[in-house]
Amino acid sequence: MGHYLGIMGYSPNSAAAILRDGEIVAFAEEERFNRIKTSPGVMPIASILYCLEEARIGFDELDGIGFGWDSPHYAETMPAFYDGLRERYPDPDPTYNALYEQALLVKMNPEYVRADLCQGLALRGHRLDPNRIRFLPHHLCHAASTYFASGFEDAAVVTVDGSGEESTTHLWNARGHVIDEIERFLLPHSLGGYYATFTEFLGFRANRDEGKLMGLAAFGEYSESLQRKLDQVLTYDEASGRFEVNPYMRHVGKRSYGRRFTDAMVDLFGSPRLSHQRLEDEHRDLAFNVQYRLEAVMKALTKRALASSGSRNLCLAGGVAMNCKMNGALAGLDGVDRIFVQPASSDNGIALGAAYLLAREAGVETFAPMRHAYYGPAYSDAQIENALRESKLAYRKSADTTEEVADALANGKIVGWFQGRMEFGARALGGRSILANPLIENMRDKINAEVKHREGWRPFCPSILAERYYTYFEKTCATSDYMILAFPVREEYQELIPAAVHVDGTARPQAVHRDTNPRYHALIEAFAERTGHPVLINTSFNVQGEPVVCTPQDALRCFGGTGIDLLVMNDFIVEKG
């Protein structure tokens, strides 16, 4: 029996995952432990130690340790690659780019990675031979993370992010346990970079708030004028899928207004929005058209991948694949019979991909399909009760938690739901969730204002019983188990569950299965008995700017500082008022 540890550090969403032969044992992100949102720039020491504890093994029992960045290749080739970019695209203001390149070359150097990992573990009382660390290509890890988890026997795989080593986008043909490259796209042509640029331009935080741009896009309208302007930023060929991003708009030239766009882009689109400024129609329309262009390019790329691979199955990964609106559009393409999008498609998923690649190299040819995302820590009744006693809050243990919480939800209460193992990825899936009644029209506004402390236009997602999924959604090539695909809600139900439907009539649902989360499934069933609708609002158990809660103590802090009415941890209930 082999154990394989995958690691991704330094980029946003540092994480670790461990496989036992072809099955996931544990998978968690560093932010959940150190409480720093996305935890950029760190090695995931706490995540690694959690994975080993969950697997009940030590470092000497690991059969492989993989880091999801080809650091030796990067250190050897990237200085010349960057020099070539500067020759092709002369930069009159190169200081920021040079500093960024130098920082990456230092941090992703193989000796730095080995030393940092071993020193971080040593501070926690563990010794590791640095020569045991394997370095694996970033985009191949992305591809493995989605294909080997999909359960498909073959697939066209598309991986898209800001960059991994020198590449930004890969098309793959996957068959059996082999993943072959079809085509790759290199820096500076980055769809992730394109989207991050406009995220910053619209006053949000790049590499963190891209979901805000996607949500804002639903409020805008198509504009031929803006599409012509976008031709100067991102061009593509619909027949081949090949695209180019204009570096003079993104990072070559004077930058008086931001880090990720030049003054030439300001000349083209007007003044960028500052984070404190009101959102106007011009911002909504720009968001719509930026999203529209991304989807157009991705449709062309996907069609090329499907045609080249000969498969009718599609797998997606990479940070851009967190765009659930785009994913839903790709799911509807002719030629796509089935789709799988890795729910931790950002760099957190790289850790899982690295573990998969190590297992494959060791001879594992069969991988268990990913059926859920509950691979984080769980807490016993004793641990939860200790935290409750320490908080000095009044609490009780319910004799029938499901029925009691269903009553509260039906009556309009907002519930913090802390159950079982923590889910991985950006979406709460019934392990660490805030739940509410989607039938109440102003519930979205209430949660945004009183609980999440975020913009009032931000949408929420519905959790729905898997067996009733197609009552509310049109038939597609797949249900959505991970809130990573957005689909139109049937028109007759849009007004019935208004708090879970976005302004464009879509939602990014979670189909809840009895066999993977029986307690959550039972709660939604009980809610349906009271209301007639097996649907709940489900948003992540956190406030804006903080990671999803991990421990009972985290849950108590979030409960105390927000408008959550009920905190339910296992069968323990704390109630306000």
Q: How far apart are CA 446 and CA 450, in angstroms?
A: 6
Which residue is associated with the tokens 């769980």? 378
Angstrom distances, CA of residue 14 to CA of 7, 68, 127, 234, 575: 8, 10, 21, 29, 35
Of the chain, the percentage scoring pLDDT greater than 70 comes to: 100
Q: Are 426 and 345 in contact (CB under 8 A)?
A: no
Q: Does pLDDT of 462 surpass 70?
A: yes
Q: How many residues does the chain have?
A: 577
Which residue is associated with the tokens 């739940």? 435
pLDDT tens-digit profile of 246-270?
999 998 999 999 999 999 999 999 9
Q: What is the pLDDT of residue 497?
A: 94
- Burial group, residue 88, by CB count within 10 angstroms (0-12, 13-18, 19+): exposed
Q: Does pLDDT of 466 surpass 90?
A: yes
Q: Does pLDDT of 235 surpass 90?
A: yes
Q: What is the pLDDT of residue 103?
A: 81
pLDDT tens-digit profile of 61-89?
999 999 999 999 999 999 999 999 999 99
DSSP H helical segments within 40-190, as ranges? 45-55, 71-88, 95-107, 110-122, 138-150
Q: Does pLDDT of 478 surpass 80?
A: no
Q: What is the pLDDT of residue 270?
A: 97
| Range 16-20 contact pairs with CB under 8 angstroms and sequence separation of 24 or more | 16/44, 16/47, 16/48, 16/50, 16/51, 16/351, 17/51, 17/351, 17/352, 17/354, 17/355, 17/375, 18/51, 18/52, 18/54, 18/55, 18/355, 19/355, 19/356, 19/358, 19/359, 20/55
Q: Which residues contact 102 (CB under 8 A, 6 or more apart)?
A: none
CA-nearest of 173, 190, 166, 304 to 247 is: 190
- Render the burial of 461-475: b for 16+ CB within 10 Å, e for the rest: bbbbbbebbeebbee
pLDDT tens-digit profile of 308-345?
999 999 999 999 999 999 999 999 999 999 999 999 99
pLDDT tens-digit profile of 268-298?
999 999 999 999 999 999 999 999 999 999 9
Q: What is the pLDDT of residue 99?
A: 77
Residue range 10-38: mean pLDDT, rounded = 97
Tokens of 507: 């939602």
Q: What is the pLDDT of residue 102?
A: 84
Q: What is the pLDDT of residue 28?
A: 97
Q: Does pLDDT of 476 surpass 80?
A: no
Residue range 107-112: mean pLDDT, rounded = 94
Q: How confident is the model at residue 104 (pLDDT cuts 50, 70, 90)?
A: confident
Q: What is the DSSP string of 240-268?
A: T--EEE-HHHHTSS--SS-SS--HHHHHH
| Domain-wise residue ranges, the chain | 151-341, 381-575
DSSP classification of residue 473:
B
pLDDT tens-digit profile of 144-176?
999 999 999 999 999 999 999 999 999 999 999
Q: What is the DSSP string of 11-52?
A: SSS-EEEEEETTEEEEEEETHHHH--TT-TT---HHHHHHHH
Q: Does pLDDT of 100 surpass 90?
A: no
CA-nearest of 362, 497, 434, 510 to 21 is: 362
Q: How far apart are CA 109 and CA 165, in angstroms?
A: 11
Q: Are 347 and 12 in contact (CB under 8 A)?
A: yes
Tokens of 73: 């290749």
Q: Which fold has domain 151-341?
A: Nucleotidyltransferase; domain 5 (3.30.420)
Number of H helices and E strands in the chain, helices first, is 21, 22
Q: What is the pLDDT of residue 251?
A: 87
Mean pLDDT of the chain: 96
Distance from the first to the final alpha carbon of the chain:
53
Q: What is the pLDDT of residue 477?
A: 60
Q: Does pLDDT of 577 surpass 90?
A: no
Q: Which fold has domain 381-575?
A: DHBP synthase (3.90.870)
Angstrom distances, CA of residue 9 to CA of 104, 147, 347, 365, 449: 12, 22, 9, 27, 34
Q: How far apart are CA 179 and CA 89, in angstroms?
A: 33
DSSP classification of residue 272:
P
Q: How far apart are CA 543 and CA 536, in angstroms?
A: 19
| Four-CA torsion 515, 521, 525, 526, nearest 10 degrees | 130
The CB density around residue 389, as the number of other CB atoms within 10 Å, is 10
Distance of CA 314 to the CA centre of its chain: 18
Residue range 27-44: mean pLDDT, rounded = 96
DSSP classification of residue 396:
E
pLDDT tens-digit profile of 498-538?
999 999 999 999 999 999 999 999 999 999 999 999 999 99
The residues pairing with 511 across neighbouring beta strands, listed in sequence order, are 464
Q: What is the pLDDT of residue 280?
A: 98
